[in-house]
């Protein structure tokens, strides 16, 4: 089942637009690697959110905080510290909304999710 992947507002939508503008003008610099990982991850997510390489799993503390199931997927297989994206199903049928990204987290404590800044659904 294919899903349409959209960005949450305002943070992810703004972040994604800025990355795309930089990519269009060849000004990604140090963000090039992250941009490529994001493109690959978003494609995998749209085709199969439970793709083994994504290691998608629910983050219960964020689910409890926001009242909707919040999922996390890795930007690079088997490497949680290479970056993570946070997403939810909806708001439309067959839609996934990306509501957050952490490019490099080195904190293994459960409280790491307290500092995650998430966007809202469209």
pLDDT digits (tens, 9 = 90+) for 25-41: 999 998 898 899 999 99
3.40.710.10, 1.25.40.80, 3.40.50.10540, 3.30.2310.20: CATH of 4-113: 3.30.2310.20
Give this prediction's pTM: 0.86
Give how far Cα 13 sits from Cα of 3, 5, 52, 97, 114, Å. 18, 12, 26, 10, 21
Domains of the chain, residue spans: 4-113
User: In the structure, what pLDDT confidence band is assigned to residue 44 with cuts at 50, 70 and 90?
Assistant: very high
Query: 34: how many CB neighbours lie within 10 A of its CB?
Result: 17
pLDDT at 89: 95
**Average pLDDT in the 99-105 region?**
75
CB 111 within 8 A of CB 103: no
Give me the phi and psi of 40, to 5 degrees please. Answer: -65, -45
pLDDT tens across 49-74, in order? 999 999 999 999 999 988 999 999 99
The Cα 78–Cα 95 span in angstroms is 25
Edge to edge, the sheet with strand 71-74 lists: 4-7, 95-102, 84-89, 71-74, 57-58
The Cα 72–Cα 80 span in angstroms is 10
Over pLDDT 90: what percentage of the chain?
59
Which residue is listed with tokens 């060849």?
26
Whether residue 91 is preceded by a cis peptide bond, meaning omega within 30 degrees of 0, is yes
């Amino acid at each position: 089942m294919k899903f349409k992947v959209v960005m949450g507002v305002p943070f992810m939508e703004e972040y994604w637009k800025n990355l795309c503008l930089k990519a269009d003008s060849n000004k990604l610099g140090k963000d090039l690697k992250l941009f490529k990982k994001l493109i690959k991850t978003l494609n995998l997510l749209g085709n199969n959110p439970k793709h083994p390489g994504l290691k998608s799993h629910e983050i219960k503390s964020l689910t409890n905080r926001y009242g909707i199931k919040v999922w996390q997927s890795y930007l690079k297989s088997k490497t949680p510290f290479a970056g993570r994206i946070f997403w939810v199903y909806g708001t439309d049928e067959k839609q996934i909304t990306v509501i957050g990204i952490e490019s490099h987290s080195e904190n293994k404590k459960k409280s790491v999710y307290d500092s995650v800044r998430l966007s809202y659904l469209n």
